Amino acid sequence: MRREASILHLDLDAAFASIEQRDKPSLRGRPVVVGGIAGRGVVATASYEARTFGVRSAMPMSEARRRLPAGAAYLTPRFEAYRRTSQIVMELLRQVSPLVEQVSIDEAFVDLAAGGHDCSVPAMTELARGIKARIAVATGGVTGSVGIGTSKLVAKIASDLDKPDGLTVVGPGDELTVLHPLPVTKLWGVGPATAERLRQAGIRTIGELAARELVDLLAWFGQAHGNGLYRLARADDDRALVAERDTKSVSAEETFGTDVADRARLERELDLLADRVAKRLQAAGLSGRTVTVKARYFDFTTITRSATRDQPTDEPRAVVETARRLLADIDVTGGLRLLGVGVSALSEFAQDTLFPIGTPPVSADAVRADVAGADPVVADVAADPPDAEWRTGQDVRHDAHGPGWVWGAGLGRVTVRFEGPRTPPGPVRTFKAGDPALHRAPPPDWA
């Protein structure tokens, strides 16, 4: 813990949903949910309008639909749009200090002392107001909540105290006054199981946790976890900021609406996932030696199969071929609810055979995917065949009507709302799904 409040934590407010509302003016002020919108999909982000109905991240999308009124919007993620906004925000933070620890696509710590700033509470408050204002202008209105404190723990908790678009500075000496009334779930490492064990002991607030003896926590949680809780409850956090985080793996997975036992279909899905992972490796300038296939059954039993190559690769055909061999070793007769592909043991160079063999790379733009340990990396949008899947929320362009986004699709039709971040709410028109005049498009320019 530092002697001055010089660590800033920024958390963009409902980032994915806010970016969707920025780019889609007809959704402003309405409940917006981003995530897997079909079958067993889950909520990635909910706008604050949706949160008033109890919708939250990681909630099943089916539950979100039950809670929200008519007129709510359910959109699939547009990671390229989110990544572009994130890059602008992170660059602004790096102009404030050379030491920025990006935690995720919408969250970062900043060492303000490393930037040579006056670290008094009034100066920090004024600096944070300026940072927030510049972010809102540069991102087209996306806001962030800021916390500043003497440690990463205090700064992160402070940023969550006044959301959305909030600012809280916790001066040196005020840490315990702020922390102790808060629920224990605000602390790192206090998940549902730990919170329940503490509740059974009559501990609900951080202050009540701080009043317990270390020997109690060690008995309940063991040496490492018990010591960690004891220290954090006393605002004892001396972790340094880490400017660069190593990407440990790149992965993609798909949860099916109904369990899939057809091996041919699973192989097609696997090809899409493996190709998507390889393209993300290429976009990030990485390659990897270990390919892993993950399979989850109806009862949530999850198994993995891995193979390690002699040399790292970012070649799509090599990843596809290895993943197919691994899938062949997995029993799918009872059906799979989830299939995933990952590449790990990463490095910044690739060495492959001059003429790799295997199935040709395929487009994977329709597959929902995520990157483990790194920001999502999405390749430029490529041309799609006329019968490609249209996903609700995706960016499109019509030869006659211009740019817009998919409002809905099904039964061979696709409905598009033609509007953008700098237009008023636009008209809605429906086309055949194979209309040659309708194309996928990159995210709109909000500047």
Domains identified in the chain and CATH numbers: 1-170 (3.30.70.270), 188-232 (1.10.150.20), 249-347 (3.30.1490.100)
Q: What is the separation, in whole angstroms, between the first and last Cα of the chain?
A: 40
Question: CA-CA distance, 147 to 7, in Å (whole number)?
Answer: 8
Picking from 313, 312, 305, 387, the residue whose alpha carbon sits closest to that of residue 340 is 305
Are 438 and 396 within 8 A, CB to CB? yes
Phi and psi at residue 13, in whole multiples of 5°? -80, 115
Within 8 A by CB and 6+ apart from 296, the residues are: 302, 336, 337, 338, 339
Question: CA-CA distance, 333 to 311, in Å (whole number)?
Answer: 33
Question: CA-CA distance, 110 to 97, in Å (whole number)?
Answer: 7
Question: CA-CA distance, 60 to 53, in Å (whole number)?
Answer: 14
Q: Give the active site residue among 20, 49, 107, 267.
A: 107
In the chain, count H helices and then E strands. Answer: 13, 17
Question: Before 164, cis peptide (omega within 30)?
Answer: yes
Within 8 A by CB and 6+ apart from 99, the residues are: 110, 111, 114, 115, 241, 243
Within 8 A by CB and 6+ apart from 270, the residues are: 293, 320, 323, 324, 327, 339, 341
Instruction: Tell me if residue 107 is catalytic.
Output: yes
Picking from 198, 264, 259, 196, the residue whose alpha carbon sits closest to that of residue 226 is 198
Structure letter (DSSP) for residue 437: T
- DSSP per-residue letters across 247-291: --EEEEEEEEEEEE--HHHHHHHHHHHHHHHHHHHHHHT-EEEEE
Global model pTM greater than 0.85 = no
The pLDDT of residue 92: 95
**Which portions of the chain are predicted below pLDDT 50?**
350-388
The pLDDT of residue 367: 29
The pLDDT of residue 247: 64
The pLDDT of residue 368: 29
Rounded to the nearest angstrom, the gap between the alpha carbon of residue 233 and the centroid of all alpha carbons in its chain is: 28
